Amino acid sequence: MMKNLICRLLTLFGLAFALTGTESMVAVGAPGPAMPSPAPNVVTPATVLAVPLASGSTAPNFTLRDNKGTEVRLSDYKGRVVVLNFWAPWSAPCLAAMPQNQKLAEKYRSQQVVVLSAGTSDLAVNFRDWITVNQASYADVRFGFDPVEKGSVNYDERIARRLYGVLAIPTQFVIDGDGMIVGNLVPTAQESDVRTEALLARAGIEVDAHVVALGEDQLLADAKDAAARAAAIAEEAKNPKPKFYERYGKLLAGSLVPEFTAESTEGKAVSSADLMAGKITVLTIWSAAGGLSDDGLAFLGAWAKKYGDQNVRFVGLGSYGTRTDFNSWYEANAPKIAFPVLFDPAGKLFRPKPIAQMSAEEKQAFKAVSKEYYAKVLPMRLAGGMMAPVPHNVVIDAEGKLLGFYVGAGGVTAESLGNLLLRGGVKLVDEDMPAKIFTPEETRIQVPKNQIKMLQIGAQAPDFPATDLAGNPVKLSDFRGKVVILDFWATWCGPCIASMPHTQKVAAHYKDQGVVVLASCTSDKRLSFEAWVLRNQAKYPDIIFSHDPQEKSPERAAKKLYGVGGIPQQFVIDRDGRIAALVSGYLKGEVILDAALAKAGINVDPALIAKGAEDLKKREAMR
């Protein structure tokens, strides 16, 4: 769909993702001299670390068990450099990174480097089963696991969380021969990721100089990412923004929410008018198949109990799934549910085969079926045809009018729910009062003023200042006399990043004809830009990356000068500085950008020009 082509700078619906933690352990080769005997793995809750142990900290000793029941201690490897890797068998990223751990262990075995893969946050039986099956594939990695199992009463005392402050897995620490932490990181499956080797070099291991330089750049990128996140958290704490919206798709706060009919858990028709009449309603919508998490159910149930006497009703609605899926989830979770739950009779959209495998006629037929389905599936019907991530929540006042909408479930949504219930006249208990109560003036939808129309073909491309990774000034006018592909992008924009490999291919192919790609990072923080370029510049050697210092300000060049409303957006600028073509978004396999260069006088293969025209026609057909 066209909405997937462009990553909008301003989005109505947002969704945050959180990581959860785990741990575990391993050892390789003969142990070195013993450290002092370890202290017991028992610490009061107050000593649990809030963040992972940083460089310069002493690595706490601990005891794990291997598959034979033998104790494995960090102190067994005093005097050796240790790569401590916390993992779990249920974590796909952990398992994906395992081959890289084996390569490290094998590569630096002669220098007495130990890779200790420490299992955490799972059951002992699961670790034993996985290690038994896979140990042979990772012969140079020593596996062990934390005896504190997931679900145990002392689960918070697991080694990774209590001693090392691990918040998510996989997490890796490099520990030098003196038992000091050199650094920590989240390992990946990418062979190009050589951060751990750079840390090994810091710990005194001999590592190829080129590898060290690349790894240090990657570590610097990590540091800039962390600084950007910290700055964002600090800014949010200083100037918190509401996580709820005064609209639900096209439905604005104060508007009557359309009535609808759903099905009860017994399969009977239920009218929203009958169920919600005269009540303040919190309608939580989730996937019929996936349902709602235990935390989400418990949270809604607790609030339903607390505020039922104030005429507040909580209702769940399972959508985008089959009745069979819904029944299966409900039967498994019914004892946990303390409020009415409904099923969306629109069911699930059936797709006979992947769209890529459909003929033109099949695509047209599926498009018609999709249109009919999305017109009747309840969340989209209520939102005027717009789709929000699930789970999400719609809060309706006693008169049936919209109070607001927010995404998510569980305790993290308490601030949004509390604010909206207050607006509905509900008296909250002290423990549920939001940290910040937003006024209507703070959350009112702002209508853009003096909307700038995007520059069109034939217009002179305005010059604007920017800076590259090194902080040097970069201007569009620096490339006068060349054909410039001005590419507005951002590090947070998935479609922008997805388009980069093709843009690099175009830049490399046409550079002999004087084509330059200037990728101007817009609506993004400087630290995020620096981190991304440090990590990725080597993959895109023919792209010139720059950053607009106006960041998200209305004064940013993309918005103020070029009228860009969504990214990625590319302007093909001819040798005289005039816009010759526009390319919005990117789909894999398209050659629209190649064809656009011909309009600026570049010699392009006629077959590519023809295919570019066909690609544009396909886009039109998708609208």
Q: Are residues 555 and 488 in the same domain?
A: yes
Q: Mean pLDDT over residues 27-37, rounded?
A: 32
Q: How far apart are CA 463 and CA 480, in angstroms?
A: 10
The answer to the question of residue 442 being in a domain is no
Number of neighbours of residue 394 by Cβ within 10 angstroms: 25
When pLDDT is cut at 50, 70 and 90, the band that residue 356 belongs to is: confident
Q: Are residues 304 and 198 in the same domain?
A: no
The answer to the question of residue 228 being in a domain is no
Q: Are residues 97 and 192 in the same domain?
A: yes
Q: CA separation (Å) from 448 to 379, 553, 559, 565?
A: 27, 13, 12, 11
Q: Are residues 169 and 274 in the same domain?
A: no
pLDDT > 60? residue 170? yes
When pLDDT is cut at 50, 70 and 90, the band that residue 262 belongs to is: very high
Select from 207, 235, 269 the last residue of a domain.
207
Q: Which residues contact 541 (CB under 8 A, 6 or more apart)?
A: 504, 508
When pLDDT is cut at 50, 70 and 90, the band that residue 21 belongs to is: very low
Q: Are residues 471 and 377 in the same domain?
A: no
Q: Are residues 183 and 272 in the same domain?
A: no
Select from 186, 207, 228 the last residue of a domain.
207
Q: Are residues 89 and 156 in the same domain?
A: yes
Q: Are residues 520 and 568 in the same domain?
A: yes
The answer to the question of residue 62 being in a domain is yes
Q: Of 366, 313, 307, 309, nearest to 340 (Cα)?
A: 313
Q: Are residues 504 and 392 in the same domain?
A: no
> Per residue in 81-130, pLDDT tens?
999 999 999 999 999 999 999 999 999 999 999 999 999 999 999 999 99
Give the residue, 21 or 393, on which the prediction is more confident: 393
The answer to the question of residue 39 being in a domain is no
Q: Where in the sequence is the domain holding 599, given as residue range(s)? A: 465-622
- What pLDDT shows up at residue 8? 32
Q: Mean pLDDT over residues 25-37, rounded?
A: 31
The answer to the question of residue 22 being in a domain is no
Q: Are residues 349 and 301 in the same domain?
A: yes
Q: Are residues 573 and 525 in the same domain?
A: yes
Q: Are residues 254 and 203 in the same domain?
A: no
Find the CATH number of the domain harbouring 564. 3.40.30.10
Q: How far apart are CA 358 and CA 364, in angstroms?
A: 9
pLDDT > 90? residue 517? yes
Give the residue, 213 or 229, on which the prediction is more confident: 213
Select from 401, 419, 437 the last residue of a domain.
437
The answer to the question of residue 23 being in a domain is no
The answer to the question of residue 28 being in a domain is no
Q: How many domains does the chain have?
A: 3
The answer to the question of residue 444 being in a domain is no
- What pLDDT shows up at residue 232? 86
Contact 427, 290 (CB under 8 A): no
